[in-house]
Amino acid sequence: MALKDIQFFTEDIDFTIKEKQRVREWIGATIKAEGFRRIGELSFVFCSDAYLLEINKQYLDHDTFTDIVTFDSSEEQGVIAGDIFISVERIRENAQKFHVSERDELHRVIIHGILHLCGYGDKGKRDKARMTEKEDHYLSVRGF
């Protein structure tokens, strides 16, 4: 897995992800565990609520705040590629709401986006339960 293809960017906020290489390794291990053989271009864009709301409106026709929007750009079977937009403001608010650390909430949302690219949904009750189960599993094995 080419971990160098996992990139982190920011839009309209001042934010730096901590433990970048460990996060990359964890993402790579998750993708491999889900049966994918390669990482294509995989971009995480950390942004504000307002920035993500505009993306949500423009591309998904949703006029709601969200913590994450995932765009799959995979073109080959067995290859993960895409753009994952994450609202840092939503992460901070949800961390307080759910009584977890901002780091754990950020990692949960990061892996949530990866799981979407792996083909997991979260719309129905059953899909949401499966997604949460997978998130919990990968958080428990992250090792850092």
Tens digits of residue pLDDT in 51-96: 999 999 999 999 999 999 999 999 999 999 999 999 999 999 999 9
pTM: 0.95
Side-chain half-sphere CA neighbours of 15 within 13 A: 21
What is the phi/psi pair of residue 130, to 5°? -65, -40
Tens digits of residue pLDDT in 96-105: 999 999 999 9
CA distances, 34 to each of 8, 96, 109, 114, 136 (Å): 22, 30, 17, 10, 14
CB 87 within 8 A of CB 65: yes
Could you give the strand order of the β-sheet that contains 38-47, starting from the edge strand earlier in sequence?
6-10, 38-47, 79-87, 68-72
pLDDT of the residue at 1: 65
Q: Return the residue matching tokens 């294509």.
A: 40
Q: How far apart are CA 135 and CA 112, in angstroms?
A: 6
Q: How far apart are CA 8 and CA 29, in angstroms?
A: 17
